[in-house]
Chains A and B, each alone.
Chain A
Amino acid sequence: MLDLLSGFVVELRNAGLPVSLTENLDAMEAVKHIPIEDRDAFKYALAATLVKNEQHWKAFETVFEVYFSLRGPEYNVLDEEGEIDEDSLEEWMSQQMRGMGGQGSAEDMSPEEIAEMLFRALMNADEAMMAAMARAAVTQFAGMEPGRPVGGTYYLYRTLRNLDLDGMLDRLMEQAQERSEGDMTSLQERLEREEFENRIEDLKREIEAEIRRRLVADRGVEAMAKTLRKPLPEDVDFMHASREEMANIRKAIQPLTRKLAARLARKRKHKRKGPLDFRATVRQSLSYGGVPAEPRFKNPRPNKPELVVVADISGSVAAFARFTLHLVYALQNQFSKVRSFVFIDGLDEVTHMFQNEEDITNAVHRVNTEADVVWVDGHSDYGHAFGVFWENYGSEINSKSTVMFLGDARNNYHATNAWVVKETAKKARSVFWLNPEPKSYWDTGDSVITEYATHADGVFECRNLRQLEGFVDHLA
């Protein structure tokens, strides 16, 4: 047990989770009190001691499934030698079948039969049945062969393609319509659909888990854990984030912008003294017989930070641009005054598009369609865009503004106009540059980041949430 647990912890660390020694000891203590047979409780006990960040839950769960999937009473598909025990699986299957009508074992079932039974299981939300059907479907459709070097996603795709779950959803809805004899209100219909979608999601998860279980049995725990290893949400590269990862990142941006706002506004809370208040000092000196023993200072003016964001949204940083727009939108909610500009080779202000828009997707869409950012050919031209920026808006930068440039500084060999950044830095409180490219690529090819960087207060590599957070921390 202890071996298993330490292997588990090592894998968690490999997956990037920060597990300290004390936490490890806590986990060992915890499992003494909770029997491994109570799988869920066991899982939560480990999670409570080892995972201290909700974002890491998913990574934890995956590793847990791999390590403990074959242990526990209902998952006894392994026999002593560690090979899949087909007999016991079959037996278990047919038991399940008999329970609901007495067809033969999974091998004999035709795809139609599986679909039909699955349909019934989904309709009645019969969980045991759904699990059984997930197993049957994997056996039937995934075509898994031991030792074949393909990933779990391939099998998952094959299984799902054969099951045609979209068609299943439509059928379920029809059935539900019939059952209520056609007098369903649109609200009820919507709720019903969501319920079915939910059940189908459960089914997908079940199938995925089943495939994983079999793969683990085939390839062994360590190998499997390695293939399933995914970067943690804070390490996902903005440039290569999948849609799902992007959604996660978006969720994580909110608290970060709050933090950023707090950091920039913080100075007003610290009791940093303003200039000497002569009158108050004289008044105070009266109590010391006219000796100005205790100097008085003016309270500093509260500092309302203004943020100016200038973001590159050209094709080369498209994925990053999507993220920056989300960031800008989130910032807009936090700061009283944010002005946002986007550019490719022309530059346009987009503040108003974010301001009155509740829905971020609408706002992003508007920016992409309405903003006038193309000047000649729609290839990045930082020099020209900055020129426009200085000419039209430069006069509005003042000592309260913090200016953030977001972009990779790949300028297609145009003139850099770095003096704009220099002049901006002179007038603004601070100027930062966030670059989505890895540091090793900077100044290679047409990247001219250093020319701009020399004038900015700081240039930060910003490829994932962790780095963005580092930037925010740096501001303190």
Chain B
Amino acid sequence: MSIFNPFINFFRVLRQVVKGNKWYYAWVGLLSFFILLGLVAYFKQLQYGLIETAMRDQVSWGLYIANFTFLVGVAAAAVYLVVPAYIYNFKPIKEVVLFGELLAATAIVMCIMFIMVDLGRPERVWHILPVVGKMHFPASLLAWDVIVLNGYLAINLFIPFYALYKLAHGREYNMQIIKPLIIISIPWAISIHTVTAFLYNGLPSRPFWNAAVLAPRFIASALCSGPALMLIIFQIVRKIYKLDIDNKAIFKIAELIAYAMGVNLFLFAAEFFKEFYSNSIHLAPMKYLFFGLNGHYNLVPWMWASLLFNITAFVLFLLPKTREHFFSLNLACVLVIAGVYIEKGMGLVIPGFVPGTLGEIYEYTPTMVEKYITIGIWAAGALIYTVFLKFMIPIYKGELRFKSSQSKQVG
């Protein structure tokens, strides 16, 4: 009998994922629609090439890499839950840390998708792997990124799946196994964002990226956007699944975001001062971002909006009164996500290319194909996370149990 158990358990999970109320179907249907839209756009791009995008030799990375960069930040932020949960044993957060780890895993999967759609020859992606391909390690930072992102994905899939597997069999998970992984996951989370920052940072041809403050700023802004996204998800989950998530956990995370945003704003100010006060030729990209360059203003309103969002959110998160009020808290979360999405997305990638290395200014505005593919990947990410939660929460609440030959003896 027991050899059939994995199949029986698989169907239990499958049934749990497939069955739902009309809201669930509507949500999944909506996401599927956007995914389909993205797929259609992607097939067009596959067929005609990246000429379907607005990227050109002058601005050779665009919306895809911008989203990739932002999502690495979201993934790195899971560590913000892991530290208080496991190291300081802060109970309210410990109960929700699994959601954070799964969000990190989902974000990494989305990162990989954004890289895949950006490749000119996606079918050759195996060339980047060691052994079967010809990975340029340690010279290329992109090779480092492949290692740290996939490693982080493995860690953040293993921990929650292992814990849930044990829970589903009615057993406590073994801290001896999880603890070392958690310890590793903390520097690892920092590393994924550091390596991604270094990827830009190490190019002296692009003065905007070639600033030592880049990696610290990446980390600071990541510790804002990721947790902010999680706060919103926690509230939704709490409402839909009637799950106990302590307000204390939410307010604690909000407080931590305030500190991270403080650091982020300070580092931004440091960069801003250095560029504008020294007023060298390397000022051009910064000028393009905030004041426009030679009549090109594409990003100016976005950058000021981003700055305004970040400062407002900082104040809202910092004051206990607004932090512990759900309207202002959620407003601050949305502002932080939007602010960092602009700043660490297009606001980071595009000024690396404007002005170009030969002084040319090419104004990049994403095409519909790029937008559809981007929406499709976001929808795919949302769908993955939805499916995770759909079978994870019943297991977590003890409503879904696996058939197991040992569980009777132990439990």
- B is a partner of A: no
